[in-house]
Amino acid sequence: MRTAREMDRLATVFLIGGTDARFSATDLRRDTGLSNAHILPLLQTMKQRGWIAQEWPESDPTRARCVYVLTEHGREELSDD
């Protein structure tokens, strides 16, 4: 199934980055090769399952973009260990 492969690609990026890594949607598109049409629903699913969290950096509120962070629950669920 295509969606499962895409989820695997996205999960791999998060796992490689670890729990300290912060990814914008642009970073994730670049690192996975997925389009917005594919990546945004996957991010929503991962967020609903508690695998990732969404943060809004306060550095420049006028240009704020959310970043996505792997949660400890996400690391446990997505890793093969």
CATH code of the domain in which 45 resides: 1.10.10.10
pLDDT at 60 over 90: no
Task: Confirm whether 16 is domain-assigned.
Answer: no
The dihedral formed by the CA atoms of 38, 24, 55 and 10, expressed in degrees to the nearest 10: 50
Task: Confirm whether 74 is domain-assigned.
Answer: yes
Q: Which residues form the domain of 68?
A: 2-11+21-78
pTM recorded for the entire structure: 0.85
Task: Confirm whether 62 is domain-assigned.
Answer: yes
CA 34, 40, 41, 42 dihedral sign is: positive
Question: pLDDT tens across 24-41, in order?
Answer: 999 999 999 999 889 999
Task: Confirm whether 67 is domain-assigned.
Answer: yes
Looking up tokens 């949660």 gives 71
